[in-house]
Amino acid sequence: MNCAAFVGYLPGRKSRLLGKIVDLNSLRCLCCYFSLVCLLGSCSLFRVEPGRFVSSEDRAALYRIKEWTLRGRIAIQSKDESLQAGIVWRHDRQQDHLRISGPFGRGAARIVLSQNYIRVTRADGAVEESDDPDRLLHALLGVSIPIDGLRYWVLGVSYPGLKADASYDAMGWLRALRQIGWAVDYPEYQDVESVILPRKLKISSGDAKLKLVVDGWDIEG
């Protein structure tokens, strides 16, 4: 016997009360169902299938983005070690601010970068500063990261002013980039306020490999 039929056998007030309980439970189930559908739907809204043509004007517009924040996950592998971490990276016209959480014990490492300066605040509060960002980043992450190029690669464009070998598909989507000794692959994009930006990047040079998954973008200027 189902719940509705069982309720019909109960007399008077108890029947009405149990009916309300059943209706309430049904409503809760329905709300959960629609919440799940909306959640799954919202995830898929940001995935972009390569059916939209990307023009040279679209790519040129990416160079005009001067301030942005990305939030995601990063995996770094070298010959001797590997790490996985969460990352929040805010770029503005003067500096880069990175928060890398996960592989450095409790808390997170905070990094401030400019052209010839880096400051790293570790999870335990220890602070390191240097006028050689590449050296300190290598000590922190275990690989040499081309941060100057990466600032542009994460947007889906090449580092300007330097030779680059770019491969596009038939719809104009950048699929592979070779520059300053690094290979960058773009397996997936996402729509961010009508701007098409990478969602997944794979970057490699020799034994050094880096994978970045961007869960969210904020375009600020």
Question: What superfamily would CATH give domain 56-219?
Answer: Lipoprotein localisation LolA/LolB/LppX (2.50.20.10)
Give the residues of the chain that fall short of pLDDT 70.
1-51, 103-107
pLDDT of residue 80: 83
Structure tokens at 163: 């030779």
pLDDT of residue 31: 40
Residue ranges of domains in the chain: 3-45, 56-219
pLDDT of residue 21: 37
Are the CB atoms for 116 and 129 separated by under 8 Å?
no
pLDDT of residue 17: 38
pLDDT of residue 53: 86
pLDDT of residue 103: 62
Structure tokens at 105: 């014990």
Say which amino acid occupies 44: S
DSSP letter, residue 116: T
Burial call 180-211: b when 16+ CB within 10 Å, e when fewer: eebebbbeebbebeebbbbbebebebeebbbb
DSSP conformation letters of 182-217? EEEEEEEEEEETTEEEEEEEEEEETTEEEEEEEEEE
- 146 three-state secondary structure: coil
pTM of the shown model: 0.76
